């Protein structure tokens, strides 16, 4: 799992007061005003337009420079009763685009037919074979949706057959454009359209909107536009375009329309997902509805999804909806298998800057999702390739600052075909070129800054735990619909009391936590079950999260959707310091996975010197030495004078990794020498540092708590014969084992309810106990190693240490 670097908003002087004034004038909370202005929605007019998305604010479709040309050809086809083929794509964006145009064109009197190529047999984009078949079927006009912008040869071929091509697409255009009859693509520099981030279905919608306005259908045309907004919203959400500007208007309007859609197939699919007759959110569409339509195109043919959205027969709609659910389950199983294989390959060697993996048995219908999963796990650009004898097919996913399409352009001599966006692309190449592509992409990545490969987590607001309530939820809901480009606000808090933590779900894959003195606030971290060992024994944590309503057995409560959780504040004061830290930590060694940390450094062995000697040295050296104090429960930096030339490491750290990180950070501050001083190992200190209580300790505390519970006396944290940290740790372990329950829990005391044991209990069944014991054993073994290693071997450990931050 990758390490996230939290970034804090850095407000300009006076901005807080300005945001307060805006919030008062507009009748919104300061939290909403702060978040919007941090996201670039700054003026009062922009804020009102953002909070009240309206179809009246859509741009005119005639802003497209070639829209009139496209309409002229369609009007000619309508009068001449010529057949028009809508040529789509097999993802949700392509399927909804095709559905939308088919419905509008047929309603406007055109003879439209719909066609979606097979991912398995034909692949993405416009193909000559399909054009030939269209010609044989007497098609005179082809409208591409969500594809076609790179089809230079195919468009020329269509011309030879007497077919005019109208391209509607939203992918990045090549340097040389096809000579089509008309091109509608907002990413073309001179397209004339003011909003470049439309999805493919958004561009198709613009053509439909212009057609309806041209035919001057009046109120009927307005209703026709409204009735297809749910289809436009579905494709827009699924294609992960930014939900700002026109896309926000489309999705907000479309979600409302979707709740009472006139499209039988879409209604049936919502019923299959358990979402019909319920308020809809963009996230539900993205994670429940869209994957089912996508699954058909990934596993076999997207035509089932198209048929579902077009059908008017209830029984057929139910059959198709259930078929799509089965296909989605198959897709999920296939995806998991490939991800597991990919991870197994990656874990055998150091992770490269750019991950390029290939295999013969990988289903190319799911490799895009697999690439996304690998990015989530390692935060590296990922290229996943399904090897085939003739042409292997690949899918790429990027990270912030890494433009996958541009990188593919740089290697076009190795590729047969490619296209896509900055963060996602598809490509094909000969099998023998796969190793060359891997080498070329990683060679190109060598020039990229190391900081690019550390994931940023942008925090919108820091709030105390007690501020999380229904009022805050209502305020944040004004910012919906959420999605790519307008994410659910990320909130964060420091030193939240961790009441309980556990793993849940299949394979214990998810982390469930409760926070507050009595566990009043609950949170879930999906696919972060392994994080439990990091936090289980920490009384307080720092948490970054979103907020959602969670309904269980009819009871609604607020749930923290945990993005990251840390046992203590481990980030620095601002993003610049974090970036500097990473630059320092990675150093400049040739092999980034193994850095010789002690090379070019002066190191001194004072492990056996007494207190008086090192105290005198600190006094004599003054500002020339900084101190990393490891004599307490948590290592602390002391001094941190910018003029210092030496760093004294006093006491025993918890691991070699801590030592390596200390040296890495110090080197960037101009420190060239390290003194390793006072290495006595205090067992009680190590237990406190790791929150470890021995069996004997727990038995003693158990007897005290048992007496108090039987006598119904409250347990005071200030009991003189029991250290506070031991009491807190023991209570958590006993609660986990089901021996007692805290009825009331404050900073001063706890009221306990005794639960009689029904069987002999094993301490090893407590995850907290096992984790703390293992940590204590590891730290104790390290401490002994640190104290007794001969100096020559000690220096060798420094030289060979691997500093794997993140």
How far apart (Å, rounded) are the C-alpha atoms in residues 549 and 279? Answer: 13
Q: What is the pLDDT of residue 719?
A: 53
Residues 636 and 699 in one domain: yes
- pLDDT tens by residue, 151-182: 999 999 999 999 999 999 999 999 999 999 99
Domain span at residue 518? 4-49+459-566
Residues 775 and 683 in one domain: yes
CATH of the domain at 166: 3.90.1640.30
In this predicted structure, the answer to whether residue 101 has a pLDDT above a threshold of 70 is: yes
| Inside any domain, residue 72 | yes
How far apart (Å, rounded) are the C-alpha atoms in residues 155 and 150? Answer: 9
| Inside any domain, residue 163 | yes
Contact 230, 263 (CB under 8 A): yes
CATH of the domain at 15: 2.40.50.460
| Inside any domain, residue 240 | no
Percent of the chain, pLDDT > 70? 86
* 161: exposed, middle or buried (Cβ count in 10 Å: 0-12, 13-18, 19+): middle
**Which residues lie across from 114 on neighbouring strands?**
86
| Inside any domain, residue 492 | yes
Q: What is the pLDDT of residue 112?
A: 97
In this predicted structure, the answer to whether residue 453 has a pLDDT above a threshold of 90 is: no
| Inside any domain, residue 143 | yes
Residues 781 and 641 in one domain: yes
CATH of the domain at 400: 3.10.310.30
**Tokens, residue 173:** 């255009």
Q: Specify which of 599-613, 737-751, 772-786 reaches the highest per-range mean pLDDT.
A: 772-786
- pLDDT tens by residue, 696-736: 888 888 887 777 666 655 555 555 466 777 877 888 888 77
Q: What is the mean pLDDT of residues 746-754?
A: 62
Mean pLDDT of the chain: 85
Q: What is the mean pLDDT of residues 195-221?
A: 87
Contact 269, 324 (CB under 8 A): yes
How far apart (Å, rounded) are the C-alpha atoms in residues 531 and 519? Answer: 19
**Which residues lie across from 627 on neighbouring strands?**
638, 648
Contact 290, 201 (CB under 8 A): no
How far apart (Å, rounded) are the C-alpha atoms in residues 633 and 417? Answer: 58
In this predicted structure, the answer to whether residue 22 has a pLDDT above a threshold of 80 is: yes
Q: What is the pLDDT of residue 604?
A: 84
H/E element, 428: strand 424-429
Residues 690 and 783 in one domain: yes
Domain end among 390, 408, 438: 438
Q: What is the pLDDT of residue 315?
A: 97
| Inside any domain, residue 267 | no
Nearest alpha carbon to residue 264 among 103, 381, 392? 103
The secondary structure of 176-195 as a DSSP string is S----SEEE-TTSTTS--S-
Percent of the chain, pLDDT > 90? 51
Domain end among 188, 207, 226: 226
Strand order in the sheet with 182-184: 111-115, 83-87, 139-145, 164-168, 182-184
**Which residues lie across from 5 on neighbouring strands?**
456
| Inside any domain, residue 790 | yes
In this predicted structure, the answer to whether residue 802 has a pLDDT above a threshold of 50 is: no
Residues 477 and 505 in one domain: yes
Domain end among 376, 403, 438: 438
Residues 498 and 630 in one domain: no
Contact 171, 201 (CB under 8 A): no
Residues 747 and 803 in one domain: yes
In this predicted structure, the answer to whether residue 211 has a pLDDT above a threshold of 70 is: yes
Residues 625 and 705 in one domain: yes
How far apart (Å, rounded) are the C-alpha atoms in residues 502 and 434? Answer: 43
* Tally of domains in the chain: 4
Q: How far is CA 52 from CA 26, 46, 56, 246, 253, in A?
A: 12, 10, 11, 12, 10
Residue with tokens 């948490």: 543
- pLDDT tens by residue, 242-288: 999 999 999 999 999 999 999 999 999 999 999 999 999 999 999 99
Contact 265, 317 (CB under 8 A): yes
Strand residue runs (E) in 25-176: 83-87, 111-115, 139-145, 164-168
Q: Who's near 323: CB < 8 A, 6+ residues apart?
A: 296, 304
CB atoms within 10 A of CB 678: 21
Q: What is the mean pLDDT of residues 494-521?
A: 89
Q: What is the pLDDT of residue 721?
A: 62
Residues 42 and 63 in one domain: no
Contact 464, 12 (CB under 8 A): no
Give the CA dihedral 229, 230, 232, 234, nearest 10 degrees: 160
Please report which confidence band the pLDDT of residue 623 belongs to, taking 50, 70 and 90 as the band edges.
Answer: low
Helices (H) and strands (E) in the chain, counts: 29, 26
Q: What is the pLDDT of residue 298?
A: 83
**Tokens, residue 122:** 């034909």
Please report which confidence band the pLDDT of residue 525 belongs to, taking 50, 70 and 90 as the band edges.
Answer: very high
Q: What is the mean pLDDT of residues 84-96?
A: 95
| Inside any domain, residue 453 | no
Residues 750 and 651 in one domain: yes
Residues 539 and 641 in one domain: no
Residues 124 and 40 in one domain: no
Q: What is the mean pLDDT of residues 60-79?
A: 96
- pLDDT tens by residue, 356-407: 999 998 998 899 999 999 999 999 999 999 998 889 999 999 998 899 999 9
Please report which confidence band the pLDDT of residue 437 belongs to, taking 50, 70 and 90 as the band edges.
Answer: very high
3-state secondary structure of 20: helix
pTM listed for this prediction: 0.72
């Amino acid at each position: 799992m990758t390490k996230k670097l939290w970034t804090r908003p850095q407000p300009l002087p006076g901005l807080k007061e300005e945001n307060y004034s805006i919030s008062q004038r507009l009748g919104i909370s300061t939290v909403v005003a702060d978040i919007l202005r941090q996201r670039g929605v700054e003026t009062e007019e922009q804020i009102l337009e953002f909070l009240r998305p309206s179809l009246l604010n859509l741009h005119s479709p005639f802003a497209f420079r070639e829209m009139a040309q496209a309409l002229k050809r369609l009007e000619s086809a309508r009068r001449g009763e010529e057949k028009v083929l809508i040529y789509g794509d097999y993802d949700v964006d392509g399927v909804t685009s095709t559905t939308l145009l088919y419905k509008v064109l047929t309603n406007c009197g055109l003879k439209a037919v719909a066609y979606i190529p097979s991912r398995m047999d034909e692949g993405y984009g416009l193909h000559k074979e399909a054009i030939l078949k269209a010609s044989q079927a007497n098609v005179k006009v082809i409208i591409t949706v969500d594809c076609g912008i790179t089809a230079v040869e195919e468009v020329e071929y269509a011309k030879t057959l007497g077919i005019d091509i109208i391209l509607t697409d939203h992918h990045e255009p090549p340097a040389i454009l096809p000579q089509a009859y008309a091109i509608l693509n907002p990413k073309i520099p001179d397209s004339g359209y003011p909003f470049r981030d439309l999805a493919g279905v958004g561009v198709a919608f613009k053509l439909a909107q212009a057609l309806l306005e041209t035919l001057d259908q009046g109120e009927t045309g307005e209703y026709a536009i409204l009735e297809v907004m749910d289809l436009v919203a579905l494709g827009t959400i699924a294609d992960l375009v930014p939900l700002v500007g026109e896309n926000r208007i489309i999705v907000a309007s479309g979600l409302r329309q979707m709740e009472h859609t006139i499209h039988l197939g879409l209604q049936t699919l919502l019923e299959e997902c358990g979402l019909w007759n319920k308020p809809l959110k963009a996230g539900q569409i993205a994670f429940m509805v869209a994957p089912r339509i996508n699954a058909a195109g990934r596993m076999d043919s997207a035509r089932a999804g198209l048929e579902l959205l077009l059908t008017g027969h209830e029984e057929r709609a139910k059959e198709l909806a259930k078929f799509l659910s089965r296909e989605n389950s198959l897709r999920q199983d296939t995806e998991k298998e490939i991800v597991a294989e990919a991870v197994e390959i990656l874990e055998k060697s150091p992770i490269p800057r750019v991950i390029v993996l290939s295999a013969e048995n990988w289903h190319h219908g799911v490799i895009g999702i697999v690439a996304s999963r690998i990015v989530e796990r390692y935060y590296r650009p990922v290229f996943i390739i399904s090897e085939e004898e003739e042409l292997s097919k690949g899918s790429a996913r990027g990270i912030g600052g890494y433009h996958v399409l541009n990188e593919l352009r740089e290697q076009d001599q190795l590729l047969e075909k490619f296209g896509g966006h900055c963060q996602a692309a598809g490509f094909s190449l000969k099998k023998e070129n796969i190793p060359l592509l891997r080498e070329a992409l990683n060679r190109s990545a060598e020039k990229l800054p190391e900081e690019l490969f550390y994931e940023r987590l942008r925090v919108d607001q820091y709030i105390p735990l007690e501020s999380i309530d229904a009022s805050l939820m209502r305020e944040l809901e004004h910012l919906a619909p959420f999605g790519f480009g307008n994410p659910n606000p990320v909130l964060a808090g420091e030193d939240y009391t961790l009441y309980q933590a556990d793993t849940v779900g299949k394979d214990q894959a998810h982390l469930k936590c409760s926070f507050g003195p009595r566990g009043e606030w609950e949170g879930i971290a999906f696919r972060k079950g392994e994080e439990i060992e990091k936090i289980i024994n920490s009384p307080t944590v720092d948490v970054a999260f979103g907020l959602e309503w969670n309904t269980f057995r009819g009871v609604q409560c607020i749930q923290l959707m945990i993005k990251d959780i840390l046992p203590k504040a481990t980030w620095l004061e601002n993003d610049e310091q974090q970036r500097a830290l990473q630059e320092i930590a990675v150093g400049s060694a040739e092999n980034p996975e193994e850095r010789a940390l002690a090379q070019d450094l002066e190191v001194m062995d004072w492990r056996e010197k007494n207190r008086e000697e090192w105290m005198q040295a600190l006094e004599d050296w003054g500002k020339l030495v900084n101190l990393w104090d490891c004599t307490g429960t948590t290592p602390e930096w002391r001094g941190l004078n910018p003029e210092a030339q030496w760093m004294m490491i006093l006491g025993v750290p918890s691991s070699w990794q801590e030592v390596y990180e200390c040296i890495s950070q110090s080197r960037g501050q101009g420190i060239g020498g390290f003194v390793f001083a006072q290495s006595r190992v205090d067992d009680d200190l190590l237990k406190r540092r790791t929150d470890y209580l021995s069996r004997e300790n727990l038995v003693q505390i158990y007897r005290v708590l048992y007496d108090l519970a039987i006598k119904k006396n409250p347990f005071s944290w200030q009991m003189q014969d029991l250290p506070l940290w031991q009491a807190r740790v023991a209570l958590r372990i006993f609660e986990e084992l089901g021996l007692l329950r805290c009825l009331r829990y404050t900073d001063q005391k706890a009221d306990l309810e005794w639960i009689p044991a029904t069987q002999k209990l094993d301490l090893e069944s407590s995850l907290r106990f096992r984790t703390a014991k293992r940590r204590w054993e590891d730290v104790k073994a390290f401490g002994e190693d640190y104290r007794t290693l001969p100096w020559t071997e000690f220096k060798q450990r420094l030289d060979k240490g691997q500093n794997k931050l993140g």
